[in-house]
């Protein structure tokens, strides 16, 4: 039985046991039952199995058949899978001629203020829409997602309104967005069914952009930033899509894979670690390819939430408590990709050469009549020299990792605060063209309060593979 089911059953039983006419008493009992379950979660997570971690759904992308599902309509915090809608709205704007792939995305102060994961470019830095999308989908850069939204719609508020209007159009009845990047925000909610619908729409409506979701790494200057999705390189037939993490949601993933004429969508929410969400997604995809001919459980278009019902269960104290982090770190040390029960390949299956991204080379005017204009001459003086990962000490509730070391996928879950993050950076250097580049604190580091020095903290090295 899943966590969501346990909470629901206890809530129903508690309400049923109340005395008629004493609504306040019933509400207090319901609240108590939920608090008891939430209090027990750290112990449950110590031995949690991936399949019981949270809601999931498996869908045939072409027909919409639901091949497997558990708590598919349960409200959940989307975290960085929100960026799938950010991409969809951007693709709509591209198709409408509102901008082009070479249009300029300018980093504002508002965008730079977003906590990690981020690129950390200074205010006024220009990048193309194409490069912005790559940074958002591979690095999961919160600052660039915000800047992209501001470029498309003029402000965060107008872009979010457009995101929600698009969600309504697609029939995502259990989804409401509050920002373009998925960082913690009250009222921001979705479910695995709605994310499957969005993924289906992305690949059907905009197949010309499907390759963006398959990029395994980007290279900015000398720095290689790898995707947080190991299925892209370790699962046969993987075609995308996006991962997400904040303390309140646990580890989320939307994954797609194609073998022959079978194209599947697997959505997994609330996993206790990055490697467990990847293995659970791979398990679902394996099941789908084996049982593709089954009748299924109806169609995803007919399986809808009645509307926005309640705030999702908040897993912050369980996912990011010291006990759960220690248990996760222990499981990580014992985990060997491609061995034992692992569904992923031990070896890399695809070319992992990074795609180069740069600042500059953008067309300032956002106008359809510039579509056929010749590209500007590249300016070498604004090509990035090196971009260290933007990592800040005590970044709380961050979305995705702040560090990708060599070929390892690392998800840093520093979770000591309320999710606001800390984007302060150390003094920077500059490119030959004079553009300052931040020199950020190293991954898994904290400031020593006694001497102010940045020191490595092995307790923070939790989800590496």
Where in the sequence numbering do the catalytic residues fall? 80, 83, 140
Say how far apart CA 438 and CA 461 lie, in whole Å. Answer: 23
3-state secondary structure labels for all residues of 101-133: CCEEEECCHHHHCCCCCCCCCCCCCEEEHHHHH
Measured in degrees and rounded to the nearest 5, phi and psi for residue 69 equal -165, 145
Pair of tokens at residue 372: 């056929």
Say how far apart CA 225 and CA 454 lie, in whole Å. Answer: 22
Give percent helix, percent strand, percent coil of the chain, each to the nearest 5.
35, 20, 45
- Cα 267-216-159 angle, rounded to 5 deg: 60
Pair of tokens at residue 247: 């303390």
DSSP letter at 324? Answer: H
Q: Identify which of 126, 228, 118 has the alpha carbon closest to the alpha carbon of residue 464.
A: 228
Mark out the alpha helices in 154-191 (DSSP H runs): 156-170
Give how far Cα 297 sits from Cα of 72, 75, 290, Å. 12, 20, 16
Asked whether the CA dihedral 78, 81, 87, 88 is positive or negative, the reply is negative
Burial of 229 (0-12, 13-18, 19+ CB in 10 A): buried
3-state secondary structure labels for all residues of 230-253: CHHHHCCCEEEEEEEEECCCEEEE
Say how far apart CA 120 and CA 406 lie, in whole Å. Answer: 20
Say how far apart CA 213 and CA 243 lie, in whole Å. Answer: 11
Q: Identify which of 7, 69, 309, 267 has the alpha carbon closest to the alpha carbon of residue 176.
A: 309
DSSP letter at 136? Answer: I
Pair of tokens at residue 89: 């709205």
């Amino acid at each position: 039985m899943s966590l969501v089911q346990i909470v629901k059953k206890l809530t129903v039983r508690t309400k049923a046991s109340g005395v008629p006419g004493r609504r306040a008493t019933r509400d207090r009992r319901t609240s108590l039952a939920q608090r008891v379950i939430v209090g027990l979660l750290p112990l449950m997570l110590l031995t949690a199995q991936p399949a019981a971690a949270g809601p999931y759904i498996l869908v045939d992308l072409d027909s919409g058949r639901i091949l497997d599902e558990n708590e598919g309509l349960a409200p959940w915090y989307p975290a960085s899978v929100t960026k799938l809608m950010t991409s969809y709205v951007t693709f709509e704007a591209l198709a409408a001629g509102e901008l082009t792939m070479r249009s300029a995305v300018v980093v504002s102060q508002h965008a730079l203020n977003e906590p990690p994961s981020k690129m950390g470019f200074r205010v006024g830095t220009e990048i193309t829409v194409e490069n912005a999308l790559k940074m958002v989908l591979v690095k999961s850069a919160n600052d660039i997602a915000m800047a992209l939204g501001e470029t498309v719609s003029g402000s965060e508020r107008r872009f979010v309104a457009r995101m929600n209007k698009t969600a309504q159009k697609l029939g995502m009845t259990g989804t409401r967005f509050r920002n373009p990047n998925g960082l913690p925000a009250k009222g921001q909610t979705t479910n695995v069914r709605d994310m499957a619908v969005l993924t289906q729409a992305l690949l059907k409506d905009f197949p010309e952009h499907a390759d963006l979701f398959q990029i395994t790494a980007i290279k900015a200057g000398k720095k290689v930033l790898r995707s947080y999705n190991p299925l892209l390189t370790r699962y046969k037939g993987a075609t995308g899509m996006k991962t997400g993490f904040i303390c309140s949601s646990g580890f989320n993933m939307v994954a797609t894979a194609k073998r022959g004429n079978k194209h599947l969508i697997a959505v997994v929410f609330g996993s206790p670690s990055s490697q467990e969400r990847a293995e659970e997604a791979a398990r679902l995809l394996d099941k789908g390819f084996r049982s593709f001919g089954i009748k299924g459980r109806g169609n995803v278009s007919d399986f809808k939430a009645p509307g926005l019902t309640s705030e999702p269960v908040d897993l912050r104290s369980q996912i990011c408590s010291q006990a759960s982090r220690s248990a996760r770190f222990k499981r990580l040390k014992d985990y060997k990709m491609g061995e034992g029960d692992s569904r992923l390949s031990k070896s890399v299956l695809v070319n992992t050469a990074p795609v180069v991204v740069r600042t500059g080379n953008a067309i300032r005017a956002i106008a359809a009549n510039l579509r056929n204009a010749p590209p500007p001459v590249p300016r070498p003086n604004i090509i990035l020299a090196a971009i260290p990962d933007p990592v800040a000490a005590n970044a709380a509730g961050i979305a995705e990792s702040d560090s990708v070391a060599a070929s390892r996928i690392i998800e840093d879950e520093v979770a000591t605060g309320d999710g606001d993050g800390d984007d302060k950076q150390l003094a920077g250097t500059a490119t030959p063209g004079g553009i300052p580049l931040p020199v950020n604190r190293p991954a898994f580091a904290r400031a020593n309060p006694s001497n102010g020095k940045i020191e490595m903290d092995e307790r923070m090295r939790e989800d590496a593979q």
